[in-house]
A and B are shown apart, each in its own frame.
Chain A
Amino acid sequence: MLKDITIGQYFPGSSLIHRLDPRFKIVMTVIYILMLFTGSRLSCLIVGAVYTVMAVLLSKIPMKMFMKSVKPLMPFLLITALINLFLVGTGATVYKWRFINITEDGINISIFMVIRIVLLIMGSSLLTYTTSPITLTDAIERLLTPLKKLKFPVHELAMMMSIALRFIPTLIEETEKIMSAQKARGAEIDTGSFMTRAKNMAAILVPLFISSFRRADELATAMECRCYHGGEGRTRLRQLRSSPRDYTALAVTIVFYAAAIVIAHI
């Protein structure tokens, strides 16, 4: 049951998008977000939409998966659309009934907002779908390296992230063991009213916490034994190498961004 949990929802593959340098992918995602926030007319989004469709097709990940990532945010989309529909009062009135006043601008802005959010979700999902969490952490560490000069603990953050990722399956396994052990002792975890179940969760969480602290302590000793002393003077087995492919992809993204700016100012 718990085994189904996937963090980061990475889909292994070898498409062009998968093979891009993760650092470039992060930078391109940032440019992509900027692109979507250029201008406020529907025509501005066309550029973003074309770019998204192109990237999705290149990633060879089924469209269905992107729909799945949008689904949980449907209520949010609906509320955004309704608020804009009812509260925008400018432009020609299309429909009027008592206090409700729907205008042309209202309709346009609602559609615009919904499309923009859907594109945002799809674009960022594309990053996590095509990049494994550990690679992503690595790329973030390297992109943030300049911040080290400002005493920002870049290496430490990345190390914590990667240890957390490493221990997710271990802790899931442990949780399942504790659950079975508590069920065998008669704890009601799957049955009973909401309150009983919530109370009984303590029987799982307390042992889980205690064992996590013990694990942390042992891991720290093991890391010390292997000469860990922070990020200073560290070399890496995983090498990130940028290729002409990455620069081309970045150039294409910038061209799209420029196009969006141009359209916004016409």
Chain B
Amino acid sequence: MDEMIQIRDLHFSYSAGEGETEPAEEVLKGIDLTIKRGEFVAVLGHNGSGKSTLAKHINAILLPTSGKVTVEGIDTADEERIYELRQKAGMVFQNPDNQIVSSIVEEDVAFALENLGVPYEEMRQRVDESLKAVNMYEYRQHSPSQLSGGQKQRIAIAGVIAMQPDCIILDEPTAMLDPQGRREVMATIKQMNEEKGITIVLITHYMDEAAQSGRIVVMDKGRVVLDGAPREVFSHVEQVKSIGLDVPQATELAWELRRAGYEMPEDILTEQECTEAIMELFRS
């Protein structure tokens, strides 16, 4: 079984409040998506495209209005297996301050394990391993308020890794961080994917972060509009721009040059590739 997450015809609307006669608008309008084990998927989209709502469906924070979401065969609507599901699919949120529970780093990392009733010896070992995996072991006795945003976010990731999940969903984990913190967090995410084989679903609106993934899903107004490898997705420059998103700068430069009549390859993604293509242009 290679399918990690299966989403079938997912519709979702926030239920209308009391006294409101008009039905709430659908936030997700029929999403079909299959994510394989070990994939690194970036979900791109503008504000209000429904990307965070989609993320919250994967570990049953929200339940579908209609349609079905399964993670490793567990239906998210199955209340009996909800803790099993949440242990398999961990989630990291945008604001590092609002997801850290304890005043001591190592106790926060242990929080999920305490909830799951993991015995002390094993808990101690898993907490230490998780902290080492995100390079925060020497900070284990610190208070989170002494740490930088990037460090706090890495603690949050460690707290999820301690559950030994098969999949981590990150909802704009770098949106509130400075460039240094963003680099740290991205490096950690990639490392988790490559070394531990954890499936990553990264919700983001930064193009350069999405470009580092293995697959990009672009969402607009509650639908999936593009789905493919970064090169493929960003080669649809006009379509990406039409839904209010940008393409990486190198891709955009190549595209502008091509529009101006120069011969540039269509699938340029990195600065390196762009430089080489331009050098090539000069030579010919």
Contacts and interface: CB of A to CB of B under 8 A. Distances in A.
Do A and B truly interact?
yes
Interface of A: 134, 162-163, 165-166, 169-170, 173, 214-215, 218-219, 221-229, 233-239
Contacts, number: 89
Contacts of A239: 120
B127 interface: yes
Interface residues of B, number: 39
A222 B112 contact: no
> Could you tell me the dominant secondary structure of chain A's interface residues?
helix
A226 B115 contact: yes
Interface in B81-139: 83, 86-87, 90-91, 93, 95, 97-104, 106-107, 110-120, 123-124, 127
Contact of B106 (A165, A222, A227, A237): A237
A218 B144 contact: no
A166 B144 contact: yes
Given A162-B103, A234-B115, A225 B91 contact: yes
Contacts of A219: 98-99, 101
Among the interface residues A170, A222, A223, which one has the most CB atoms of the partner chain B within 10 A?
A222
Nearest to A211: B98
Interface in B118-168: 118-120, 123-124, 127, 143-145, 159-160, 163
B278 interface: no
B59 interface: yes
Contact of B107 (A222, A224, A227, A238): A238
A225 B143 contact: no
B187 interface: no
B99 A236 contact: no
A218 B114 contact: no
B61 interface: yes
Contacts of B95: 215, 218
B103 A236 contact: no
Nearest to B112: A226
B58 to A, nearest CB: 10
Question: Which of B106, B113, B115 counts the most chain A CB atoms within 10 A?
Answer: B115
Smallest CB-CB A-B distances: 3 pairs: A222-B99, A169-B145, A226-B112
B29 to A, nearest CB: 24
27 contacts: A134-B102, A134-B104, A165-B103, A166-B103, A173-B145, A214-B98, A215-B95, A219-B99, A219-B101, A221-B61, A222-B91, A222-B93, A222-B99, A222-B101, A225-B86, A226-B163, A227-B83, A227-B86, A227-B87, A227-B112, A227-B115, A233-B117, A235-B118, A237-B107, A237-B113, A237-B123, A239-B120
B99 A228 contact: no
B143 A235 contact: no
Given A166-B102, A234-B114, A234-B115, 18 more contacts: A134-B102, A134-B103, A166-B144, A169-B143, A214-B98, A218-B99, A222-B101, A226-B111, A226-B160, A227-B87, A228-B115, A229-B115, A235-B113, A235-B118, A235-B120, A237-B106, A237-B107, A239-B120
